[in-house]
Structure 1
Amino acid sequence: MKFHFAAFLIFLFGIGFSSAAQNHGGISGSIKDKNGDSVAGATIAIAQSKKGTISDAKGHFSIQNIAPGSHEISIRYIGFQTQAISFTAVPGRSITIEVILEESIYSLEGTTVTAQRREQSILNVPIAVSSTEGKFFDDLNIRDLDAFAEFVPGLQVQVQSPNNPGFVIRGITSDNGDSRVEPRVSVFQDGVSISKSRGSVVELFDMERVEVLKGPQGTLFGRGAQIGAVHFIQNKPTNDFGGKITAGYGNFNQNLISGYLNFPVSEKAFFRASGQYNKRDGYVENLAGGTLNGKNTTALRGAFRYLPSGKTTIDIITNWQKDDYPGTGFVSGSLISPNENISPFGPAHLEKGRDLFSLRTVWGSTVLIEHSLGNGWSLNSTSAFREFSNQESLDADGSDIPALSFGENAYGRQFSQEIRFSTDASQKLTGFLGGSFFHEKGNQMLNFQTNENAMIALLSPLVRVASGGQFPTIPLYGPDGKPFLGANEMLSTNLAALGLPPFKSFHEENFQNYGQVNAFEIFGDGTYQITDKLSLTAGLRGTFESVKNGYAGRYLGSPSTVGLLLDGAFGSAPNLLIAPTDGRIVGEGEFLSWVGRFIAGYKINAFSNGYLSVSRGRRPNVIQVTAEGSEELEQEIVVSYEMGYKLMSDNQRLQFDIAGFRYHYSNFQTQVIEIQDGTLRALVRDGGNASALGLETSVKFALTEKIGLFSNYGWIDAAFDEKDSEGRPQILAGNRFRLTPKHSFSFGGAVEIPIWKNHHFFFRPSYTYKSQVFFEEENQPGIEQKAFGLLNCRLGLNLENGKYEIALYGNNLLGEQYLIDAGNTGLAFGFPTFISGPPRFLGGQFTVRF
């Protein structure tokens, strides 16, 4: 199978290369705006082709070595309407054109994408891809990832904190913070993987667009794109002076400053600086002090573009982000003082008060080089370094009982280099070949703290059952409603008889995991035009991985009295929950793998296309290392089948797409925090096989120049199979995937009404809906969120044709109460916790453009 697929791919390229004509034509010209000013940095591309260039400092461009025949060239520049011009390439001749760009006022955004590593109309991309332009984020006041996901069918994003996001595409979740485990969903920023969960939350500001590709995308986006990819494409510098600044204030003391400044450094060099400060007090009051579920983020970006010649573009981009959040509002559903009325949607009472927090710093630099080699070939190079570090303090029992406190410290760094050669040497073939290297090294430490008086009270019902009723039940709360910390007095005689010291008011232990991977990849992807209507696309990516993982459980020099009292029942003595190891235990492995895709595309007419595809996705093998040693978990495999239809009106005012899919998922793995043989462990478990059937559709319509509408809908039935690959019944058989609503939809619009010369009133409402969601694979009743919907709106005035903007916004206007997570670490001890979603947010903003 591998040989035949690779041979077919090589065959496609071979046909194209051998058929390339020896005599080619060309096209050159200049690009200006309606005032006659040159437009530098405009993107010029030949449709159905990788061939293209960028206009130079004087607006000039030239594309040569074009195969004879009819072609269509597109000219695209931010803020202007995309122009399409038909021309005929004649051997030995280069035609000259002059292009006047008009400001964009009456067409849909997001119709051009780079999902297949080349600029194309979204109509011509034979995969399910959603593209959201930066203007959409501004129009609807979308600044967070989870809010953005509500408008993309098939995508869910859960953000407990910037250190704990979960990306879900078509039911498959990627939210593992373990440094040894690879993601299932690739998250990219300008062509660079930022997929590790602790470093993948980024601020949404000064974005060109965000593309979401659904289904296995390993051929296009590498080893982590098992079920899809999210690609953040940031605005690049342009050859003009301009900027924008937005200042805002809202309830919960929200403060916002966001903006950018763009200017030319010389005729060939441009710079763009942008940033965002977004701070808000927590919306959950902590009765022990402070608030929870707040936000405090500062993000900065510098981008430099250099055009050394008409053939070469160099972009250097540096991002820096610091998050300093208050703690996460884990609220227990059962550990509640008799004197308090605690619920997931009221105040919390977490004993650490203001000492709960979530800190993170992440930064990275990327160098992008695009160079035309001539004769239908181009070279792309992507080089990047990225680093993150985080600290977090959380109360896992969700109460004022000092029993389960955890702290996390994580660190990761990565370097990557990709080289890609692209071709459109003939009218029949477009595609690319290349290779990449990826190095990543990181670690994650989990620190456990407890007051043993509280911990033995928490465990006493279980110990009483295990001892046949000999052990007393210790109350969690005293008569005064405060946590009962008198276990020493109750059990002093027993402890003395056993020669044990008193329970400690403070006990601490920790473990740390380590992950390192070096990955080498080669890849190729090509589309061959068999007829004017039928095309075949094939892609293959081969990967070699060298993995070295480690684990260390630490004894910090002071034994746990609870652990000694239970005489090894927890298997971790002299610790309580974490078994100590003799130094670091290491596991290593090397793996060869492949992923691929095959697509048949059919051009129904000039405005609509259909496609059928089969693709194979993979998440790499896991070397799991515990106190007992190391074991290798099999790679996860997704085989997906998809059928889709796309329509785009000739004036780009109407866009519609629909896709149906079915996939089979083998060796499904899930991370669990459980007590195994009495020891607290974060483990990856093989969940067996699963299957999914789904449908996604979306529509955008520019009804008039002043009215735009959008809507989308997603349906998915994703569940564990009845039997595994060996024919054995599965424990989770029939259970639905976590964080996955069966039905989801959103709709909204943008209306602009002239009120006097150059001044307009705008109104932008939206509504999003999700059906029932389970938060754990076990689908326990109560560890779920029932169906709910959110109504949002932004309205205001555009003055002087948008130079000034005054806006009011409201999110969750109906005050819907809902959960974003439930279960969590507390569930392993029988005490699930709950995290509430944001309440009603209201605020105002003022924007100046220059």
Structure 2
Amino acid sequence: MSRIVKRTFPLTALACLISTPVAAQQSGPQNIEEVIVTAQKREQSIADVPMTISSLDGETLDTLGVDRFDSLSDLVPGLVVQQQSVNNNGYVIRGITSDDGSAPGAARVSVYLNGTDVSRSRASYFEVYDMERIEVVKGPQATLFGTAASIGAMSFITAKPQREFASELSVGAGDYGMREVEGMVTGGGEIVQGRLALVSRERDGTVENTSDEADLNGYERTAYRPSLRIAPSDDLTIDLVYNYDKAEDPGTAFVNESVLFTDNASLSVPDNDVLGMDDIGVDRTVKDFNATVSWDINDSLALTYIGAHRDYDSLEAFDADGTRYEFLNFSEDASGDQSSHELRLNFSGDRVNGFVGASYFQEEAAQFVGFASEEGLFLSCSGALPGVEGCEPNATAALTGGAVSALPYEGYYENRADNNNLNLFADVSYQATDKLEATVGVRLMEEERESSYRSNMPASTILASQGIDSNLFNGLILDTADESISGDTDGSPVLPRFNLLYALNDSLNAYGTVSRGERAEVIEMSSGVESIVPAEEIDNYEIGLKGRLMDTPLDYSVALFYQNYDNFQVNVIDEESGQARTENAGSATNTGIEADLRWNASEKLTLMANAAWIDAGIDDDATNGSYAGNQFRLQPELTGAVSYLYETPINSGLLFTSSGSWSYRSSVYFDIANRFEEDAVDLLKLRAGIAASDRNWSLDLAASNLLDKEYIMDAGNTGNSFGFPTYIEGAPRTVSLEFNKRFGAL
């Protein structure tokens, strides 16, 4: 334990939510448990990590009802999680969005599962259950988490097997046909212990769909996780974990503005051969295996190996025009195979702590986008038929003199990527004095990226009859006649970080950080000619305080940051073809301040609050083109939340428990062009129930979006390119009743 850890025990706000019941804190704030995190690849007090980090343990996640990624937005300042569907997630840290689903694109946020990078957006989502803790780290963290952490990282650590027998079962039911079962069992002997956790969640769609297909924006998911811990000696531990996630959701409702928040949505896709399914919906399977070997060589040296393999296949079909017409019908079949290996040597001493290591990551990814329509309908809806205004279902019959009533049209495009990178990294902390600790780290990379593109967009029969040899998109989507074109690039970035941590007194630490991040080059092939979008480079500067207000049970942290971007990469949808691509928007800056606190107001009540103010966007410089001066997509200027945990005895055997949160975000734009904006949104969540005094069982009534606020999650989307912008509704008020029973020692 470093000298600074011995001197200071301040905790950051929400990060310091403790796992013991509030009522058990009989002796006051001095008994608050120290929060331990592993963001720097070793166990440390969270107060002694010289960067902004939040940590939520499994008990806290359960108490607050956090079982989805987007729920973390309420608890972590500067974090926004947008989930259009299980297949399409957007992670926003400090105003910067990571949501590129293309195979050649690179993530900006590292999502780690048990020490392994799973950041590919179509596979980065998994069910949140039976967790040991979640850590969210902000700012470029390439030294610790690789290049995907160009703006931050989210690390999920699952609960480990234990020797003592224990089990837990939770069941729940609610409105919109909500049904949920979650459970786990663990136990074993001195050398081998096992754990099995599983969850099944289902809810009908909340957007009524008047077509023959199911209501939309619901979910149907199943996941299970067997894990094994083998400890042949006190110095050697082997953890084997398998994760299986399956989603068969009814799909996302991209609705026209005219039917937003009504019961008049009528969305469907036609019978087809290219979309992969004849209904709007999601069919997604993710399989993951992780092996971690930890060997304590002696009191000063420890060797860790982490190997993992992950494969995913995520198919989603959607009606992109948001109307009753089967005009824009798309699907995306994203698949991939990832393998990684990391070997790390940790060393520790009286003044020096750190690690050196190497890792290798290999990935093959593909994104197949299918398109289905009817020629006459498509041409009339897109305004390509003179004298015809709006969508005309009988256009084909009129143009062929009644000879043909419909001309189905199908096409596709596909991009593939083969990415490989070798990493060498080192990180060393030196405690110069009892008060001052300095950290220097660096990651060296050798990265190779290959990308290919192929498509098949056949000529339009109707356009051919008018002497026009073109596909329905007038050639704006390249047709390679099913032939692949390819390109490649490589890079050798050097990504350093420098940190200082200073103990101002026994209850207050100050820190400063300088770090560099990089988002890899993108090979853009959709034009038919290899185009390299240069690597996005980020310089990050940050100062902060972590401490306790004198001798009171009030813990807080404050961070001020400035980030400068070169070659800021933006993902846009082409205004004419509807095809997604990556562009270089030039330079950008990001300035902000974040704060959070936690106050143990009494033995019964704990209050938490967080806030973040961010001023970010593309620099208002003419050299930055059409996006100059624009605000980032999904970036609110102000976010904040207030939460509480309350517990009081009813009698000697029963407790009354309650928790809740109120969250706020200011207005946001849903596109980098800043055409679609939504006003500020605030949401309220509440839970209340009874529990046995020993926590053996509990019964809770929970409500999300309690005031039933109407808000949207996204706007514009693919349909906007054809004059049919669409909107995705946020979830309405949902209510559920949950029962939990525990057996054995947890």
- TM-score tier, shorter chain, comes to over 0.9
1:472 to 383, 387, 391: 387
Say if 2:366 is the partner of 1:451.
no
Structure 2 counterpart SS, 1:285: coil
2:553, 2:341 → 1: CA distance? 39
Q: Which residue of 2 aligns with 1:536?
A: 438
Of residues 525, 544, 568, the one that matches 1:668 is 568
Work out which of the residue numbers 377, 382, 395 in structure 2 matches 1:487: 395
- Where does residue 223 of structure 1 map in the other structure? 147
The 3-state SS of whatever aligns with 1:658 is strand
Q: Using the TM superposition, give the Cα deviation of residue 475 of structure 1 relative to its aligned residue in structure 2, in angstroms.
A: 3.8
1:153–1:697 CA contact under 8 A, matched in 2: yes
- Residues 540, 836 of structure 1: CA spacing in aligned structure 2 closer, same or farther, 3 A cutoff? same
Aligned residues of 1:813 and 1:840 also touching (Cα < 8 A): yes
Distance 2:3 2:628 in 1: 45
- Alpha-carbon shift at residue 801 of structure 1 (Å): 1.8
Contact 1:80 1:102 in 2 (8 A): no
**In the alignment, which residue of structure 2 is the partner of 1:20?**
none
| Partner secondary structure for residue 153 of structure 1 | coil
Q: Could you state the TM-score of these two structures normalised by the residue count of structure 2?
A: 0.92
Deviation at 1:572, TM superposition (A): 6.0
Match of residue 583, structure 1, among 467, 483, 497? 483
Task: State the AA in 2 paired with 1:162.
Answer: V
Q: Give distance in 1, aligned partners of 2:693 and 2:423.
A: 52
CA distance in 2, matches of 1:579, 1:344: 38
| Match in the other structure for 1:845 | 738
Cα deviations by residue, 1:670-704 (Å, 9 ceiling, x for unpaired): 1222156xx55321111111111101111122233
**1:456: how far off?**
1.3
Are the equivalent residues in 2 in contact too, given 1:185–1:224 (CA < 8 A)? yes
1 CA distance for matches of 2:437 and 2:489? 40
Tell me what 1:814 maps to: 707
**Contact kept in structure 1, 2:73 and 2:80, CA below 8 Å:** yes
Q: Distance in 1 between matches of 2:511 and 2:714?
A: 37
What is the root-mean-square deviation of aligned Cα atoms in Å? 2.7
Cα distance in structure 2, aligned partners of 1:563 and 1:580: 19
> Residue 110 of structure 1 contacts residue 131 of structure 1 at CA under 8 Å; is this kept in 2?
no
- The letter of the residue matching 2:154 is V
Inter-partner Cα distance in structure 2 for 1:604 and 1:237: 40
Choose which of 510, 515, 521 in structure 1 pairs with 2:417.
515
| Deviation larger for 227-236 or 730-739 | 730-739
- Equivalent pair of 1:271/1:302 in contact (CA under 8 Å): yes
Determine the C-alpha separation between the residues in 2 that align with 1:503 and 1:566. Answer: 20
What's the counterpart of residue 201 of structure 1? 125
Conserved? CA contact 2:8–2:506, under 8 Å: no
Report the CA distance between 1:650 and its aligned residue.
9.9
Q: Structure 1 residue 351 and structure 2 residue 268: aligned?
A: yes
Count of equivalent residues? 725
Residue in structure 2 matched with residue 30 of structure 1 by the alignment? none
Q: Which residue is equivalent to 1:696?
A: 594
In 2: Cα distance, 1:144 partner to 1:582 partner: 39
1:159 deviates by 0.5
Q: Could you say if the C-alpha distance between residues 375 and 263 of structure 1 is closer, same or farther in structure 2, counting changes exceeding 3 Å?
A: closer
Alpha carbons of 1:283 and 1:571: their partners in 2 closer, same or farther (altered >3 Å)?
Answer: closer
1:15 aligned residue: none
Indicate the SS of the match to 1:454.
helix
Q: Give the direction of change, closer, same or farther, for the CA distance of 1:648–1:276 in structure 2 (3 Å limit).
A: farther
Deviation sequence 1:488-527 (CA, Å, 0-9, x none): 344346xx9xxxx958431100011101111000001111
Distance 1:442 1:80 in 2: 39
Distance in 1 between residues matched to 2:161 and 2:429, nearest whole Å = 31
- Whether 2:648 is the aligned partner of 1:753: answer yes
Any idea what SS the aligned residue of 1:326 has?
coil
Shift in Å, 1:654: 3.6
Q: Which residue of structure 2 lines up, in the alignment, with residue 480 of structure 1?
A: none
Tell me the residue number matched to 1:404. 328
Q: Which structure 2 residue ranges, 5 or more long, are not aligned?
A: 10-16, 271-277
Question: 1:545 and 2:447 equivalent?
Answer: yes
Question: What's the counterpart of residue 658 of structure 1?
Answer: 558
Q: Which amino acid aligns with 2:309?
A: F
What CA distance in whole angstroms lies between the structure 1 residues aligned with 2:397 and 2:230?
74
SS of alignment partner, residue 744 of structure 1: strand
Shift of 1:237: 1.0
In structure 2, distance between residues paired with 1:693 and 1:846: 44
Q: CA deviation at 1:225?
A: 0.5
Match of 1:567 in 2: 468
Alpha-carbon distance in structure 2 between the residues aligned to 1:250 and 1:215: 39
Distance across 2 between alignment mates of 1:409 and 1:161: 14
Distance 1:846 1:318 in 2: 27
Q: Match of 1:148, SS? A: helix
Deviates more, 1:533-542 or 1:666-675: 666-675
**Taking structure 1 as reference, are residues 665 and 829 closer, same or farther at Cα in structure 2, changes over 3 Å only?**
same
For 2:698, the equivalent position in structure 1 comes to: 805
Q: Which deviations, in whole Å up to 9, do the C-alpha atoms of 1:784-832 show, x marking residues without a partner?
A: 2211111110000012421111110111111100001111001111211
User: TM-score, normalized by length of structure 1?
Assistant: 0.81
1:640-688 CA distances to partner (integer Å, 9 max, x unpaired)?
Answer: 1101000147999542101000111110111222156xx5532111111
- Amino acid across the alignment from 2:393: L
2:668 alignment counterpart: 773
| Equivalence for 1:683 | 581
Do residues 130 (structure 1) and 32 (structure 2) align? Answer: no
Q: What SS does the aligned partner of 1:688 have?
A: coil
Q: Please give the alpha-carbon distance, in whole angstroms, between the structure 1 residues aligned to 2:18 and 2:679.
A: 42
Do the aligned partners of residues 653 and 456 (structure 1) sit closer, same or farther apart at CA in structure 2, a change above 3 Å counting?
Answer: same
Q: CA deviation at 1:581?
A: 4.1
Is residue 632 of structure 2 the alignment partner of residue 737 of structure 1?
yes
Of 346, 350, 355, 1:427 maps to 350
Query: Percent of aligned pairs with the same residue?
Result: 34
One-letter identity of the residue aligned with 2:396: N
Stretch moving more, 628-637 or 807-816? 628-637
Of 75, 90, 107, the match for 1:151:
75
Q: Which has the larger radius of gyration?
A: 1
Match of 2:523 in 1: 623
One-letter identity of the residue aligned with 1:734: G
The 2-side partners of 1:635 and 1:474 are apart by 44
Deviation at 1:137, TM superposition (A): 1.7
Quick one: distance in 2 between partners of 1:355 and 1:700? 47
| Alpha-carbon distance between aligned partners in 2 of 1:762 and 1:261, rounded to the nearest angstrom | 25
Q: Is the 8 A contact 1:553 1:627 kept in 2?
A: no
Q: How much does 1:706 deviate?
A: 2.2
CA shift, 1:102, in A, is: 11
Change (3 A) 1:654 1:270: farther
Alpha-carbon distance in structure 1 between the residues aligned to 2:516 and 2:230 = 38
User: Which amino acid in structure 2 is aligned with residue 434 of structure 1?
Assistant: G
Aligned counterpart in structure 2 of residue 525 of structure 1, from 423, 427, 440: 427
Structure 2 CA distance for aligned equivalents of residues 358 and 571 of structure 1: 27
Please name the residue that 2:37 is paired with.
113
AA aligned opposite 2:237: T
Paired amino acid for 1:552: R
C-alpha distance in 2 between matches for 1:537 and 1:118: 13
| 1:699/1:71 CA distance change after superposition, 3 Å | closer
Change (3 A) 1:651 1:163: farther
Residue 740 of structure 2 aligns to a residue whose secondary structure is strand
CA 1:589–1:370 in 2, change beyond 3 Å: closer, same or farther? same
Residue type at the aligned position of 2:408: F
Alpha-carbon separation, structure 1, partners of 2:196 and 2:353: 35
Deviations 1:732-763 (A, max 9, x none): 12211111111111111111111111210112
Compared CA separation, residues 564 and 409, structure 1 to 2 (3 A): farther
1:711 equivalent in structure 2: 609
CA distance in 1, matches of 2:646, 2:20: 20
Q: Is the 8 A contact 1:563 1:576 kept in 2?
A: no
Q: Residue 92 of structure 1 aligns with which residue?
A: none
Distance 1:239 1:145, change over 3 A: same
User: Could you say if the C-alpha distance between residues 734 and 102 of structure 1 is closer, same or farther in structure 2, counting changes exceeding 3 Å?
Assistant: closer
Say which SS state the counterpart of residue 381 (structure 2) adopts.
helix
Residue 260 of structure 1: which of 154, 176, 184 is its match? 184
Q: Quick one: which amino acid aligns to residue 616 of structure 1?
A: R
Choose between structure 1 and 2 for higher RCO, CA contacts under 8 A separated by at least 6 residues.
2
Q: CA deviation at 1:533?
A: 1.1
